[in-house]
Structures are given as structure tokens and as C-alpha cells.
Amino acid sequence: MLLAFDDESGFARLLGAAAALELAAIARHRFPDGELKLTLPERLPERVVLLRTLDHPNEKLVELLLAAETARTLGARHLTLVAPYLAYMRQDMAFAPGEAVSQRIVGRFLAGLFDAVITVDPHLHRTETLVQAVPARRVIALSAAPLIGRFVAQQGLRPLLVGPDGESHQWVAQAAAAGGFEHAVGRKTRHGDHQVQIELPAVELRGRHVVLVDDVASTGRTFARAAQAAYAAGAARVDVAVTHALFVGDALAALAAAGVREIWSTDSIAHPSNRVGLAPTIAAALRGLGAE
């Protein structure tokens, strides 16, 4: 059975159909003081998949705690979390005395609730594998980069794919290989949450169509600065392709001001820019788990 919340019903229907899972809803009630009450189906099968993408994660993590613990009391013996976007992965070490290492804390929290965790393009920096961050019995980190590369190719476009910084190399390389494109990677210097400096790779951009590729867009400043630099170098057109479309605050306005023409994202987070569906890829991973 696939359990999902009402605000993810669209993706849940796609995933349930692709994975041939019965879909059931988790009902939520908010008390006047802000506390949550969840209601699950009265009886659950032994194997249950819980869908919850973790944008706006703070309240959703409480929902996962309540839902997972309740599912165990209702008959579930094996719980799989499908979190297309997995939050709190960036803080993988303490950069100053007293800082919480949220990746380690949240990862262990999820591993204590779920037998398996499936996610897409987790935002890992110095952590080599997802299991180091989320030490569950089984963890699967899927990549949307090949899907993005094939999507761009299907548009009949022949761009140069550019990753804005070294951390984006793995995604832009996979997307380029899948779509048969050239690719290059720039360099980023971060001066704050909204202040970044981008140095583009030493390749000829004059007259080129550039697609900027990365795993996540939050404030949009990295993409915006990269787009500005690309146009300054003579690019004819700049688009953005990203796995996780957070786009907080005025991110979309910043990208438009920088001259970005099109934004394409996966449906890991519901957003008007969604063009690449993840349900078939996640369903295949679920079938693999079920066969183990």
C-alpha cells in the first residue's frame, strides 16, 4: 500500500499507478494550538510505502514521526519512505563551534523510523554515499540527471550544458551523456545565502544556447549569476534545468531579470516548472525492493 498526504495526491496517483500499489490517504487535522492529528487506514498490509517530499521540512518531519509510528501499530512490518526531495543534507559538518550537524541528526531520525529510504539527487557535499547520511537498512539514491538530459534532447535543442560549480559536475555530466551534449563546469564562490560569484568555464559561448544544470535551486542566485555571466560572454540563449525546484522568495524574478528563458524541473517538488516525471523511475526502485 502507498500512503500519501492530500497535498501530494497528484504525484501519489502517478506513483501508485506506476508501481501497481493501492493508494490510501493520511488525513490531517490541525488543532487551534497548531498541533497535528493524523488518521491512517484502520488496517495496513505488512509492506507500506509512505510518500512525503521534504520541502518545507520542519512540520513534515513531525508528520513522518507520527505516521511511521502509527503505521507500525496498524500492521506494517516494513516501511519504505519515498522522499523525492530529502531535506537537511547540506549541513554535513560543524563549520563553527556549537553548530548542529543536521545531516547526521535528521538522517539517523529517518533511519530509526523506516526500513528503506528512496530519494532523488540528495544534496550531498563531502558525504560520499547516502547510507552514510541515512543509515537505514536499505537506501536508494536515484538520479534525475539522465531524465533531464533526455528531456532536453527531446525538445530538439542542441545546447551546451553548463554546471555552475564543481558540485554540479556529477549531474551535468550525466545529463550531457544521456542527451548526447557537450558540457562544461564553472566555479562558484559563495559570500552568503544570496551573494554568489560565478566564474564560467573557459569555453566559447558566443552565439551558443546554454542550459544551466544543477540538482537544486533555492534562492536562484547561483543560476542567475551564471546566466548573467553567460550572456556577458556572448551566449544567445540561457535556460535552466534542475531536479529540485524550491525557488524560494523572489528566485523566479531573479532568474527572469537575468534573462533565463525557460525553466525545466522534475516533479520532486510540485512547481509550475515541472516537466520531467519521476514516478516511473521511483516505481522501478520500489519493485526492486519488493523483490528482495
Terminal-residue alpha carbon distance, the chain: 17
The long-range contacts involving 58-63, CB below 8 angstroms and separated by at least 24 positions, are 61/87, 61/106, 61/109, 62/36, 63/5, 63/26, 63/28, 63/36, 63/38
**194 vs 89, 221, 248, 262, CA distance in Å?**
19, 6, 11, 22
Sheet containing strand 209-217, edge to edge, reads: 182-185, 160-163, 209-217, 237-245, 263-266, 274-276
Under 8 Å CB-to-CB from 77, ≥6 apart: which residues?
46, 47
Strand residues in the chain grouped as ranges (E): 2-5, 23-30, 36-39, 47-51, 78-83, 116-120, 138-142, 160-163, 182-185, 187-190, 196-199, 209-217, 237-245, 263-266, 274-276
Residues 259, 155: Cα–Cα separation, whole Å: 20
Q: How many residues does the chain have?
A: 292
Task: Give SS3 for 52.
Answer: coil
| Nearest-10 Cα torsion for 253, 258, 259, 260 | -70
Q: How many degrees, rounded to 5, is the angle at CA 42 between CA 37 and CA 44?
A: 110
Span 230-240, pLDDT tens digits:
999 999 999 99
**pLDDT of residue 190 exceeding 80:** no
Amino acid 103: pLDDT: 93
Span 85-100, pLDDT tens digits:
999 998 888 888 999 9
Amino acid 290: pLDDT: 75
Question: Which has the closest alpha carbon to 196: 251, 123, 241, 114?
Answer: 251
Q: Which three cell numbers stand for residue 195?
A: 551573494
pTM of the model: 0.93
**pLDDT of residue 193 exceeding 60:** no
- The mean pLDDT of 50-64, rounded to a whole number, is 97
Supply the CATH classification number for the domain 2-143+277-291: 3.40.50.2020
- The mean pLDDT of 38-44, rounded to a whole number, is 97
In this predicted model, which residue has the larger pLDDT, 167 or 157?
157
Q: Is 37 a catalytic residue?
A: no
- The mean pLDDT of 7-26, rounded to a whole number, is 97
Question: Where exactly does CATH 3.40.50.2020 map onto the chain?
Answer: 2-143+277-291, 145-267
What percentage of the chain has pLDDT greater than the value 90? 84
Q: Which of 183, 188, 208, 244 is catalytic?
A: 188
- The mean pLDDT of 101-124, rounded to a whole number, is 96
**pLDDT of residue 188 exceeding 70:** no
145-267 folds as Rossmann fold (3.40.50)
Q: What value does the mean pLDDT of the chain take?
A: 93
Amino acid 191: pLDDT: 46
Amino acid 81: pLDDT: 98
**pLDDT of residue 6 exceeding 80:** yes
Amino acid 99: pLDDT: 92
**pLDDT of residue 228 exceeding 70:** yes
Rg (CA), the chain: 20
Span 160-183, pLDDT tens digits:
999 988 888 889 999 999 999 999
